[in-house]
């Protein structure tokens, strides 16, 4: 999403520690949610431990570097243990994004403290503390981006699963058709993401992710940061 190749490369280096934290945190959030809702198997099989290899999905990692969003490999859960109540299913799905939001809050507050101490984040600097501050920013940014991305109502993402858990009984046909056409929906979404900037001259992904990302950034950092440019939001 960052056009300059050199800037893209530098930003990608900072995304490595961010991805190592944000992606497992999301899936650990789901696993912990399942455990608290009654599925003890996630602990038995070791899914409550922060083991990177369990949660990393290659495609999700590629998405981190290409689009500043991502996903991991979810822990297997026993639906019968969680139950089929819509509210409980929605809580399980919400646990992953909430884990990212909590981390975004923690690293965002840390970033604000560093800035107040005169340590501003910079991707290239002779001062190590400014580099550390930028690592903190990258971790904050990716956690908030995954939180916002996963809340989108697209089949396969948590936002869709939350809606399905709450509304499937009212409109079973609609959700069934959407699930059957998931691949087509994703092809259309990917086409909009990649061709939107060329045809519409703005980032479609940035617009939809920004619905959740930008207000959250305003609350956490005290100023709105654009998901697309990583700069203050345009007035």
User: Given its phi and psi angles, is residue 224 left (phi above 0), alpha (psi -120 to 50 degrees) or beta?
Assistant: beta
What is d(CA 213, CA 111) in angstroms, rounded to the nearest whole number?
17
Q: Which residues face 72 on adjacent strands?
A: 56
- Rounded to the nearest angstrom, the gap between the alpha carbon of residue 206 and the centroid of all alpha carbons in its chain is 13
Check 27, 161, 179, 214 and give the catalytic one. Answer: 27
What is d(CA 37, CA 89) in angstroms, rounded to the nearest whole number?
9
Active site residue 179: no
> How many residues are present in the chain?
235
The closest alpha carbon to 168, from 180, 176, 158, belongs to 176
Q: What are the structure tokens assigned to 182, written together?
A: 């998931």
The closest alpha carbon to 103, from 18, 42, 211, belongs to 18
Q: Give the catalytic positions in this structure.
A: 27
């Amino acid at each position: 999403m960052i056009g300059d190749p050199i800037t893209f490369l530098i930003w990608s280096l900072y995304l490595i520690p961010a991805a190592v934290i944000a992606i497992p945190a999301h899936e650990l959030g789901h696993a912990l949610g399942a455990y608290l809702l009654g599925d003890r198997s996630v602990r038995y099989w070791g899914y409550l431990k922060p083991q990177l290899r369990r949660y990393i999905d290659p495609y999700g990692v590629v998405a981190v570097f290409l689009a500043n969003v991502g996903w991991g490999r979810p822990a297997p859960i026993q639906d019968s243990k969680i139950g089929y109540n819509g509210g409980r299913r929605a809580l399980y799905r919400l646990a992953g994004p909430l884990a990212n939001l909590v981390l975004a809050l923690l690293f965002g507050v840390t970033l604000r403290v560093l800035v107040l101490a005169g340590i501003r984040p910079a991707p290239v600097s002779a001062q190590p503390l400014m580099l550390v501050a930028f690592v903190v920013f990258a971790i904050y940014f990716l956690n908030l981006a995954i939180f916002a991305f996963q809340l989108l109502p697209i089949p396969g993402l948590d936002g869709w699963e939350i809606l399905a858990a709450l509304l499937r009984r009212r409109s079973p046909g609609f959700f069934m058709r959407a699930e059957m056409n998931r691949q087509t929906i994703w092809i259309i979404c990917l086409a909009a993401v990649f061709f939107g900037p060329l045809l519409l001259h703005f980032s479609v992904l940035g617009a939809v992710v920004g619905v959740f990302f930008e207000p959250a950034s305003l609350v956490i950092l005290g100023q709105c940061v654009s998901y697309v440019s990583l700069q203050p939001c345009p007035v």
